[in-house]
């Protein structure tokens, strides 16, 4: 169970909603993109929809306004961490594919059944994954598939998900995919397969002093 918890933490994340208004500029700009992974865009809209899914699930699970605000406060970085998760999911999928690792629906269902038995039922498992990892119920099976991929990849490499050999495989996949984040959300460290604070921006803050002023 510790390995599963570690992998779940690895594959989930959170983000700060407040950010200055940004517009793209320069040759490497990707208008409307939160990230570009393997030449494919993760749009800002897709990212916002994923964050909204988590917030809606939190709202449904915690109808009390005060408790809901506390839940929001605990996940104040939900957007950045959600993007981290969306990118890392694709990195893991590439690493698994490169290693010839596949996961069947039956394997996912078997993993879910075991976790439900440990948690005390399907609803208890969904509540635990939402609270601990920010995974809404409709994304649970997809998250479990990624966990199964991670475990099978580690087995193929003769290691586990916490060992350097596993992370080297993710690093190679990150480099292959040439991950490029909008620095509004940070930067991607291919060596660590992790989101970090932004370095060189490819966006312009239009709220800066040089931006046009309204009368």
Could you give the angle at the alpha carbon of 46 between the alpha carbons of 198 and 76, nearest 5°?
Answer: 55
Residue that has been written with the tokens 């698994």 in this structure:
96
Residue-wise pLDDT tens digits, 109-129: 999 999 999 999 999 999 999
Alpha-carbon torsion 212, 44, 197, 69, what sign? positive
Could you give the angle at the alpha carbon of 77 between the alpha carbons of 71 and 82, nearest 5°?
Answer: 100
| pTM for the whole structure | 0.75
Q: Is pLDDT at 5 greater than 70 in this prediction?
A: no
Q: Is pLDDT at 29 greater than 60 in this prediction?
A: no
Q: Is pLDDT at 196 greater than 90 in this prediction?
A: no
Q: Is pLDDT at 40 greater than 60 in this prediction?
A: yes
Residue-wise pLDDT tens digits, 148-161: 999 999 999 999 99
Domains of the chain: 2-16+26-205 (1.10.4030)
The predicted structure's pLDDT at residue 70: 82
- pLDDT band for position 21 (50/70/90)? very low
Spatial CB neighbours of 65, under 8 Å, sequence gap ≥ 6: none
61 CB neighbour count, 10 Å cutoff: 16
Question: Which spans in 120-197 are helix H?
Answer: 122-133, 140-157, 164-177
Tell me the C-alpha distance between 153 and 147, whole Å: 10
- pLDDT band for position 10 (50/70/90)? very low
- pLDDT band for position 198 (50/70/90)? low
Mean pLDDT (the chain) is: 81
Tell me the C-alpha distance between 66 and 70, whole Å: 6
For 97, half-sphere exposure in the C-beta direction (CA atoms, 13 angstrom radius) is 10
The predicted structure's pLDDT at residue 13: 34
């Amino acid at each position: 169970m510790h390995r599963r918890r570690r992998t779940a933490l690895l594959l989930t994340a959170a983000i700060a909603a407040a950010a200055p208004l940004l517009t793209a500029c320069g040759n490497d700009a990707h208008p409307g993109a939160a990230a570009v992974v393997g030449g494919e865009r993760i749009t800002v809209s897709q990212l916002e929809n994923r964050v909204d899914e988590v917030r809606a699930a939190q709202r449904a699970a915690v109808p009390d306004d005060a408790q809901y605000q506390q839940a929001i406060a605990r996940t104040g970085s939900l957007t950045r961490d959600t993007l981290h998760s969306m990118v890392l999911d694709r990195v893991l999928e590439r690493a698994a594919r490169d290693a010839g690792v596949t996961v069947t629906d039956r394997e996912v269902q078997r993993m879910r059944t075991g976790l439900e038995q440990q948690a005390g039922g399907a609803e208890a498992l969904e509540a635990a994954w939402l609270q601990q990892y920010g995974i809404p119920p409709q994304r649970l099976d997809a998250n479990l598939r990624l966990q199964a991929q991670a475990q099978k990849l580690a087995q193929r490499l003769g290691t586990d998900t916490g060992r350097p050999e596993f992370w080297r495989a993710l690093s190679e996949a990150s480099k292959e995919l040439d991950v490029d984040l909008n620095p509004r959300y940070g930067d991607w460290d291919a060596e660590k397969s992790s989101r970090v604070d932004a370095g060189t921006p490819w966006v312009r803050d239009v709220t800066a002093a040089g931006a046009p002023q309204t009368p």
